[in-house]
Amino acid sequence: MTQHWIDIKNADVVLIMGSNAAEHHPISFKWVLKAKDAGATVIHVDPKFSRTSARSDFHVPLRSGTDIAFLGGMMKYILEKELYFKDYVRDYTNASFIVSEGFSFKDGLFSGYDPATRTYDRKTWVFDKDENGVVLKDKTYQHPRCVFQLLKKHYDRYDVGTVSAITGVSKENLLKVWDAVAATGKPDKAATMMYALGWTQHSVGVQNIRCAGIIQLLLGNVGVAGGGINALRGEPNVQGSTDHALLYDSLPGYNPVPVAAWATLADYLKANTPASKDTKSVNWWQNRPKYVVSLLKSWYGDAATAENEFGYGWVPKIEPNVEYASLFMFDKMYKGKIKGGFIYGHNPAMSMPNSHKIRKALTNLDWLVIGEAHETETCAFWRQPGFDPKNVKTEVFMLPSCQRGEKDGTTSNSGRWHMWHYKGYEPMGVSKPMGWMVVEITKRVKALYEKEGGAFPAPIQNLDWYKEYDADLVARKINGQFTRDVTIGDKQYKKGDQVPAFPMLAADGSTTSMCWVYAGSYGPGGNLTKRRDHAQTPMQAKIGLYPNYSWAWPVNRRIIYNRASVDVNGKPFNPAKAVIAWEDGKWVGDVPDGPAAPMADPKGVYPFIMQTEGHGQLFGPGRVDGPFPEHYEPAETPVTVNPFSAQMSNPCMKVAESDMDALAKPGDPRFPIVLTTYSMTEHWCGGGDTRNTPPLLEAEPQLYIEISQELAKEKGIKNGDPVVIESLRGKVEAIAMVTVRMTPLQVAGKTLHLVGMPFCFGWTTPGVGDATNRLTVSVADPNTRIPEYKACLVNLRKADKVTELYR
């Protein structure tokens, strides 16, 4: 989240899209309802009428996978009716930037596309610069290649009629939502956007969120109270695990993973440290060398020296054009290219797409180590229905993990609040924290390398490893320490002192930090994640900002990009809900994005400090599939024509290809129904924990499929009937929940049915059903490789008998 949970209450409009917030983030609704109490309009755009819709002012059903069309239409509406926040757009976004002459967009493709590799060469997605290297701008937007004009032209095609026909949303409903959101393009109004996996889990997932970014910038809703783009993180520590590089493509603190082409640290830093010639641009990533060196130093300790590039050579490098994401890891496993591995707190036999393939892939392993609190479908894959354990060669080691309540540690919530939690009781049986498992295994591996050597022992031998697992020590190392006595300004720090904040991190080996964004969480003042102090100033009280409660990254800033909440003189756009204000030569309120004076001051800076040129990016050249979001159909789509271009699906989408990965053709008459999958309040992800929590299983006991009354009638299905759902990849049994909450949509002139299913029910809990993901596709967004769980094609029929469900 750019904001935090409490800030939702400051919104004038709450747009919940790509999220079922009330069900999946129940606490969010404490604040949504407070916003509503204060007069906010709450809108839910989602294929299904859910518990979120029930508490919203209105619910608008749309076809899964058409968010970009919906939001692209909103952009056109805002631009044509001039509802954007003019000062904000002119001063704080790149609307005025002149884009290179080489840039083009024709019939669904941006310039630089190579059909052979299904990738773009992005060299034309750049800005023209003057002789000093500063970006050329036209603040009047007269230049035909300024971002404002390109944006307008791009979305000119997204008229209400076309958008309505492809999304299945009535024109009336489209205009109702567009009007309500666009009304916040005023200095004293804000809309918040709450999204989750309903936006991300598409082959255009990242571009869905880019739409939100563009709209919020046009309306001046980024940086202000009650605004922002708010990714609702599921488990409290989804945020923390992302910060600490859960994903294959980053090192902790959002630093790219090294690729083979960057053989030396100098190569790496050169490729990843942006420069701006604009003196008003803070260009925060120019500090990357300090963060990366401090990270290496915390991994390798005294062994990391300037002479050996702080151990950069010991860090694994990935190859270009090789896929490493989990979807492709299982693809490689299926193809016999992976021999063994570790899985912690993850149930891919349930939660990865195309489960039949995933489950088959696991049998190709020689060995598998699992850290889990329960025996999940992944732990027990070797004895799943239809498998004879005698024919499965994999040796499986199950390490019992304790639950959160049984251990100390931190989690980072959606609002980036880093919070300590205390052990409430002793772990059950012989279960241990996963941190303990990693420490102990690595200790033993290290000892083996020291005793026996190996092909490349240095990375292991040189690890500055723990003597024993200690959550407090890990928290201190994440913050970072001085490795020698240093003087910064007029302050002296001793070797071993905690680093006060990331401005003190250095690229010379004098500091460590396992994740620079957390520097300051455990500085000389102690462990701030334990703070539970409600003290605040009257200004902070107005917007529900609690600076002394826990600690938020970065540097305890609660609303990021908050310099965009004030005008160029530092005066809040909305004085009643001011986030920061420039008063008597200093900032008050939240921790500002840097101490520099307001932008109009000769020493002032642009507000978007993480962007190289300091401006919010309407034109976003950083994504691999386009600088502007464009509507493409899901990999499996019920329509045969994309009204916006000849490109049916995302030209860059990633597809795992194997004999088990069939995809239905657009409009395949065998599979005319769109399936979307989701979680629910009562069960968490693949259900490993919650199906083993009896009161939760009691409340939601078995797999269901939500279908409209119209579809039920067409198929002769009654509420409560068992049904079989089929895709090109598998069959699943479920109980029909025939409901007025699902609505057939009119799409491209035809009636289209959508159905929805949770994916949490698995065979290790007898009689509850089995993996819904046996139906879904091995297709992913090209930026993140998140799979397209939210849209695929199925058919269904009443079942004569069922074997997976107790009746």
Partner 1 sequence: MPKTFFIDTSRCTACRGCQVACKEWHQHKAVPTKQTGTHQNPPDFTPFNFKIVRFSEHKIDGQVKWLFFPDQCRHCLVPPCKDAADAYVPGAIVLDEPSGAVLYTDLTKKLTIDQAQEVHDVCPYNIPVRDRDSGLLTKCDWCIDRQQAGMLPACVKTCCTGTMNFGERDDMLALAQRTLAKVKERHPQAQLLDEEYLRVVYLVTEPRNLYHEYAERRVPNRGPMSRQAFLAMLARPVTRMRG
Contact 433, 410 (CB under 8 A): no
Q: Is 59 in the site for partner 1 (CB under 8 A)?
A: yes
Using the rule CB under 8 A, give the single segment among 52-60, 384-392, 413-421, 558-566 that binds partner 1: 52-60
Q: Exactly one of 19, 52, 96, 765 binds partner 1 (CB under 8 A); which one?
A: 52
Q: Over 587-631, what HEC string results?
A: EEECCCCCCCCCCCCCCCCCCCCCCCCCCECCCCCCCCCCCCCCC
- E-assigned strand segments in 667-741: 673-678, 704-708, 722-726, 731-739
DSSP state for residue 649 in the 8-state scheme: B
Nearer CB in complex with partner 1: 51/288:
51
Q: Is 62 in the site for partner 1 (CB under 8 A)?
A: no
Q: Is 771 in the site for partner 1 (CB under 8 A)?
A: no
Of 298, 274, 694, the residue nearest 481 (C-alpha):
298
Minimum CB–partner distance for residue 54 and partner 1 (Å): 4
Q: Is 166 in the site for partner 1 (CB under 8 A)?
A: no
Cα dihedral 782, 785, 786, 791 sign: positive
Contact 78, 555 (CB under 8 A): no
Please give the Cα distance from 132 to 60 (Å, whole number): 50
Q: Exactly one of 211, 703, 760, 775 binds partner 1 (CB under 8 A); which one?
A: 703
Could you please report the per-residue DSSP string of 259-277? BTT--SHHHHHHHH-----
Using the rule CB under 8 A, give the single segment among 19-27, 379-387, 428-436, 614-622 that binds partner 1: 19-27
Contact 251, 245 (CB under 8 A): yes
Q: Is 741 in the site for partner 1 (CB under 8 A)?
A: yes
Of 374, 368, 373, 358, the residue nearest 764 (C-alpha):
374
Site string for partner 1, 300-319 (x = CB under 8 A): --------------------
Q: Is 54 in the site for partner 1 (CB under 8 A)?
A: yes
Q: Is 381 in the site for partner 1 (CB under 8 A)?
A: no
Contacting partner 1 within 343-372 (CB under 8 A): none
Q: Is 806 in the site for partner 1 (CB under 8 A)?
A: yes
Of 426, 439, 425, 431, the residue nearest 375 (C-alpha):
431
Half-sphere exposure of 9 (CA within 13 A, CB side): 14
Please give the Cα distance from 590 to 539 (Å, whole number): 9
Q: Is 451 in the site for partner 1 (CB under 8 A)?
A: no
End-to-end CA distance of the chain: 43
Using the rule CB under 8 A, give the single segment among 122-130, 447-455, 589-597, 731-739 that binds partner 1: 731-739
Nearer CB in complex with partner 1: 115/694:
694
Q: Is 739 in the site for partner 1 (CB under 8 A)?
A: yes
Q: Is 746 in the site for partner 1 (CB under 8 A)?
A: no
Please give the Cα distance from 752 to 684 (Å, whole number): 30
* 633, two tokens: 């159909």
The enclosing H or E element of 165 equals helix 160-167
Q: Is 751 in the site for partner 1 (CB under 8 A)?
A: no
* 594, two tokens: 């840097």
Helix (H, G, I), strand (E, B) or coil at 751: strand
Nearer CB in complex with partner 1: 170/287:
170
Q: Is 9 in the site for partner 1 (CB under 8 A)?
A: no
Q: Is 699 in the site for partner 1 (CB under 8 A)?
A: yes
Cα–Cα distance list, 512 to 47, 231, 290, 498 (Å): 47, 30, 9, 9
* 216, two tokens: 């919020």
Nearer CB in complex with partner 1: 1/663:
1
Residue 649: which residues within 8 A CB-CB, separation 6 or more? 203, 632, 633, 634, 635, 637
Nearer CB in complex with partner 1: 22/293:
22
Minimum CB–partner distance for residue 700 and partner 1 (Å): 7
Nearer CB in complex with partner 1: 217/755:
755
Please give the Cα distance from 187 to 577 (Å, whole number): 11
Minimum CB–partner distance for residue 20 and partner 1 (Å): 10
Cα dihedral 803, 804, 806, 807 sign: negative
Minimum CB–partner distance for residue 23 and partner 1 (Å): 7
Minimum CB–partner distance for residue 703 and partner 1 (Å): 7
Site string for partner 1, 677-696 (x = CB under 8 A): ----xx-----------xxx
Q: Is 719 in the site for partner 1 (CB under 8 A)?
A: yes
Q: Is 23 in the site for partner 1 (CB under 8 A)?
A: yes
Q: Is 798 in the site for partner 1 (CB under 8 A)?
A: no
Q: Is 463 in the site for partner 1 (CB under 8 A)?
A: no
Q: Exactly one of 219, 724, 737, 793 binds partner 1 (CB under 8 A); which one?
A: 737
Using the rule CB under 8 A, give the single segment among 51-59, 383-391, 563-571, 601-609 that binds partner 1: 51-59
Q: Is 420 in the site for partner 1 (CB under 8 A)?
A: no
Instruction: Give residues in contact with partner 1 (CB under 8 A).
Output: 22-23, 26-27, 29-30, 33, 37, 49, 51-55, 59, 681-682, 694-704, 719-721, 735-741, 805-807
